[in-house]
């Protein structure tokens, strides 16, 4: 009888990618994946997040739940929480293996070593002086048409609210040749869109003299890949040359997730964000000069320590001025070990909630406005949900259409007929 495993993923797209890759490693060795929500597993892999103290708490809850479900199981805890707090993770009852943000390609061997000798394994090591990207590849993904590809790890920025540079180490980039090999494997598997992801992909290649646009151009040469999309980038990554070269590939999606975090220069400075609102707006204007229908999405943190009502209002007006196609709103949450956590001017939870609600309501208006301005969209349909096929346009509008034909993994020209709810209802144009 095959041994079973489950992987629980907490946190970002990079973690999701790495979980998919670890899952493949287990399946290649003959293990069978099961859903932790519905089935008991022999092996539990918990891929943790440590962005906030709440993330740590959630990770601990999932770890304890796994051991309760099967006291005889092997529990391996990997990821950012393990990297930052290995002793704390090791002290949780039932944890058998602790692995950080490196050496995940050895996860199956570690599990089998524990099976053979029953000795606790702590494989977390220091990231100091670690400048080599550790590839962990995906050749297939779950039943989707977009494939995430991790091309970068680490961050050198040290924003005052963020623990990630300590969890992921310094910037490290995947080679262009290895990235192209994975793109070819994904194209052969039928994937038409590749989403480039990493901890700070704008820094791609900085340590080796390469650049993100060179990577995009190389992947664009892969036959079968029709779309290339970026995950979140810092605004100063985008230059006129970048846009000209990206457009020239004929495959680059007109969607930019430009990190903002605050629309107030004073707060940006206290966050150690390395741009001003003026510079940010100049980048947005440049994008719209070359790609008038581009979707521009962002993240906003409300309630950063010391943020006044006036400073929040400056952010709200800036968001309104930029007219984002979507904003993701986060209430600031303390993360021990960061400078912002030490501040004594923390914002009350009710204030953060009120500010969050105001931006969420503004987001609804901005999304509808952006959708109403679209004339024709190219949508790659990914899946069927009930009686509709659902997919994304190049500029990242989620669309749905009724069709008697099988539209999965098919691109169609459509127009929006209702902007009331997402996914937006479309018809063939």
Residue 70 neighbours by CB distance under 10 Å:
17
Q: Which of 184, 224, 195, 162 is nearest to 16 (CA)?
A: 195
Average pLDDT value for residue range 384-392: 95
Q: Are 402 and 214 in contact (CB under 8 A)?
A: no
Q: What's the pTM?
A: 0.90
Give me Rg for the CA atoms of the chain.
22
- Give the rounded percent of residues in the chain with a pLDDT score beyond 90: 87
Q: Are 325 and 296 in contact (CB under 8 A)?
A: yes
pLDDT at res. 134: 74
Give the pLDDT band (50/70/90) at residue 36.
confident
pLDDT at res. 358: 98
Query: For 45, phi and psi rounded to 5 degrees?
Result: -105, 120
Give the pLDDT band (50/70/90) at residue 38.
confident
Q: Are 77 and 48 in contact (CB under 8 A)?
A: yes
pLDDT at res. 118: 92
Which pLDDT tens digit goes with each residue over 132-152? 777 777 666 555 678 999 999
Contacts of 290 (CB under 8 A, 6+ apart): 240, 243, 244, 247
Query: For 43, phi and psi rounded to 5 degrees?
Result: -130, 130
In the chain, domain spans: 2-120, 144-371, 374-426
Give the pLDDT band (50/70/90) at residue 130.
confident
pLDDT at res. 141: 52
pLDDT at res. 197: 95
Work out the mean pLDDT of the chain and round it to a whole number.
Answer: 94
Q: Are 419 and 325 in contact (CB under 8 A)?
A: no
Residue 84 neighbours by CB distance under 10 Å:
23
Q: Are 393 and 411 in contact (CB under 8 A)?
A: no
Give the pLDDT band (50/70/90) at residue 203.
very high
Write down the architecture of domain 374-426 according to CATH: Beta Barrel (2.40)
Domain boundaries 2-120, corresponding CATH code: 3.40.50.280
Average pLDDT value for residue range 256-265: 97
pLDDT at 429 over 70: yes
Contacts 24+ apart (CB under 8 A), 21-28: 21/104, 21/136, 21/137, 21/138, 22/47, 22/78, 22/104, 22/107, 22/136, 24/137, 24/138, 24/139, 24/140, 25/105, 25/107, 25/108, 26/107, 26/108
Give the pLDDT band (50/70/90) at residue 171.
very high
For the domain made up of 144-371, give the CATH fold.
Answer: pyruvate-formate lyase- activating enzyme (3.80.30)
pLDDT at res. 1: 58
pLDDT at res. 132: 77
Q: In CATH terms, are 144-371 and 374-426 the same topology?
A: no
Average pLDDT value for residue range 319-335: 97
pLDDT at res. 139: 65
């Amino acid at each position: 009888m095959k041994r079973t495993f489950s992987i629980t993923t907490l946190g970002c797209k990079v973690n999701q990618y790495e979980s998919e890759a670890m899952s493949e490693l287990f399946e290649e060795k003959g293990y069978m994946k099961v859903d932790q929500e519905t089935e008991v597993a022999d092996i539990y892999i918990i891929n943790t997040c440590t962005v906030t103290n709440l993330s740590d708490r959630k990770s601990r809850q999932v770890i304890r739940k796994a051991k309760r479900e099967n006291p005889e199981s092997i529990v391996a805890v990997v990821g950012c929480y393990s990297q930052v707090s290995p002793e704390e993770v090791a002290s949780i009852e039932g944890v058998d293996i602790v692995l950080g943000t490196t050496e995940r390609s050895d996860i199956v061997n570690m599990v089998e070593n524990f099976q053979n000798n029953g000795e606790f394994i702590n494989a977390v090591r220091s990231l100091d002086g670690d400048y080599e990207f550790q590839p962990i590849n995906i050749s297939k993904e779950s039943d989707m048409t977009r494939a995430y590809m991790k091309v970068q790890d680490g961050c050198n920025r040290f924003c005052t609210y963020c623990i990630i540079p300590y969890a992921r180490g310094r910037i490290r980039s995947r080679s262009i040749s290895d990235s192209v090999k994975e793109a070819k494997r994904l194209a052969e598997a039928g994937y038409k869109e590749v989403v480039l992801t990493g901890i700070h992909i704008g820094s791609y290649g900085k340590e080796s003299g390469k650049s993100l646009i060179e990577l995009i151009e190389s992947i664009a040469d892969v036959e079968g890949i029709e779309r290339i999309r970026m995950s979140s980038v810092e605004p100063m990554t985008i230059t006129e040359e970048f846009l000209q070269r990206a457009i020239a590939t004929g495959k680059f999606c007109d969607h930019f997730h430009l990190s903002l975090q605050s629309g107030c220069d004073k707060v940006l400075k206290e966050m150690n964000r390395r741009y001003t609102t003026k510079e940010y707006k100049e980048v947005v204007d440049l994008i719209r000069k070359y790609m008038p229908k581009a979707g521009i999405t962002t993240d906003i943190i409300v309630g950063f320590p010391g943020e006044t009502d006036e400073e929040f209002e400056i952010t709200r007006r800036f968001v309104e001025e930029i007219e984002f196609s979507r904003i993701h709103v986060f209430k600031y949450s303390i993360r021990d070990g960061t400078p912002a956590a030490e501040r004594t001017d923390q914002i009350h939870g009710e204030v953060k909630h009120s500010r969050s609600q105001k931006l969420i309501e503004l987001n609804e208006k901005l999304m509808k406005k952006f959708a109403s301005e679209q004339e024709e969209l190219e949508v790659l349909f990914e899946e069927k949900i009930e009686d509709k096929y659902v997919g994304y346009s190049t500029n990242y509008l989620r669309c749905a259409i009724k069709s008697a034909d099988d539209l999965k993994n098919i691109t169609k020209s459509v127009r929006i007929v209702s902007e009331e709810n997402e996914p937006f209802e479309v018809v063939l144009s």
